[in-house]
Amino acid sequence: ELVLKVRIQNPSLKENDFIEIELDRQELTYKELLRVSCRELGVNPEHVQKIRKLPNTMLRKDKDVARLQDFQELELVLTVSDKNFLFRVPTLSERSGYNKKASELTY
């Protein structure tokens, strides 16, 4: 097995930890990497724009995946809109305890 560290790319999260996934070395394909990563992270594969090998290399094909080594760090870059994004940070007015009238007070 090949062990990789994967996370969803989201700079707005304070903690964006990696998870470890295992791929069968006999099935090192882009499609299999995408399938396993999405299943483990709970992401729809149709929402993945690209897979990035950190710090700055885009994976595009099976040969790229075949060159990966144990514990390399990957990010899934998603294409979903803000309103549908799983990890979207709520705006101030959406947070619990926000008081619109209090925010309009002037001193």
Note the pLDDT of residue 52: 96
Check if the beta carbon of residue 72 is closer than 8 Å to that of residue 18. Answer: no
Domain boundary assignment for the chain: 2-78
Cite the beta strand spans of the chain per DSSP E.
2-8, 19-23, 48-53, 57-59, 73-78
Note the pLDDT of residue 104: 53
Q: What is the pLDDT along the chain (107 residues), one digit of tens a residue?
A: 999 999 999 877 777 889 999 999 999 999 999 999 999 999 999 999 999 999 999 999 999 999 999 999 999 999 865 444 554 444 444 444 545 455 455 55
Fold of 2-78: Ubiquitin-like (UB roll) (3.10.20)
First to last CA, the chain: 64
CA–CA dist 23, 102 (Å, integer): 53
Q: Which residue has 């791929």 as its token pair?
A: 23
List C-alpha distances in Å: 99 to 53, 105, 106. 43, 11, 14
Note the pLDDT of residue 95: 45
